[in-house]
């Protein structure tokens, strides 16, 4: 079950596509559902499937194919750092290592207080701003030096 606010957003997405192509809204519907719930449980995916008249398996296929969907619970803030080559040439790995050290966790782990999950990301299309990271998929942070990371973590801990 999703909130009326989420459903309203999904309806807006459905309206972008031909009337017989509701399935086209599945990516945005899952993203909206994830924003509300934090992650995609089977129940949430089944709800989306039902809402879009899709077989549940077709929704699972999408959710497991695209890597920004959380198929398991994550911390309050999921931080995804790009370590791909262009970023790596400009400090991407340093940023990742600094985050690991500050948070005391490795990639794909969640801090004990449940606040942070760290992920290794692939190209975000912002290589000129390296090091770059994403907070909860939606907020891109550029030029993440150690000082900038400190500032970001302070802000998120508030």
Which spans of this chain sit near other proteins (rule: CB under 8 A)? 16-18, 21, 23-28, 30-31, 52, 54, 58, 61-62, 65-69, 83-86, 88-90, 121-130, 134, 137-140
CA distance 108 to 87: 19
- 145-155: string of b/e by CB count within 10 Å (b at 16+)? ebeebeebbee
Name which of 139 and 157 has its Cβ closer to other proteins. 139
Least Å distance between CB 14 and other proteins? 11
> For the CA atoms of the chain, what is the radius of gyration?
17
Give the burial class of 139: count Cβ atoms within 10 A of its Cβ; 0-12 exposed, 13-18 middle, 19 or more buried.
exposed
Closest approach of other proteins to the CB of residue 22, in Å: 8
CB of 150 to other proteins, least distance (A): 23
Q: Tokens 């599945």 label which residue?
A: 26
- ∠ Cα 61 65 69 (to 5°): 100
Min dist CB 49 to other proteins, Å, is: 11
């Amino acid at each position: 079950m999703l909130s009326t606010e989420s459903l309203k957003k999904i309806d807006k997405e459905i309206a972008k596509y031909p009337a017989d192509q509701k399935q086209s809204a599945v990516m945005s519907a899952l993203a909206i559902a994830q924003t509300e719930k934090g992650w995609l449980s089977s129940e949430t995916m089944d709800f989306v499937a039902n809402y879009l008249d899709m077989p549940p398996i077709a929704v699972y296929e999408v959710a497991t194919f695209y890597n920004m969907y959380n198929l398991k619970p994550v911390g309050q803030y999921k931080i995804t750092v790009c370590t791909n080559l262009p970023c790596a040439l400009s400090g991407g790995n340093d940023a990742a290592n600094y985050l690991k050290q500050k948070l005391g966790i490795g990639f794909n782990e969640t801090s004990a207080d449940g606040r942070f999950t760290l992920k290794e990301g692939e190209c975000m299309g912002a290589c000129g701003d390296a090091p770059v990271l994403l907070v909860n998929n939606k907020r891109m942070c550029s030029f993440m030096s150690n000082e900038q990371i400190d500032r970001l973590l302070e802000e998120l801990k508030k």
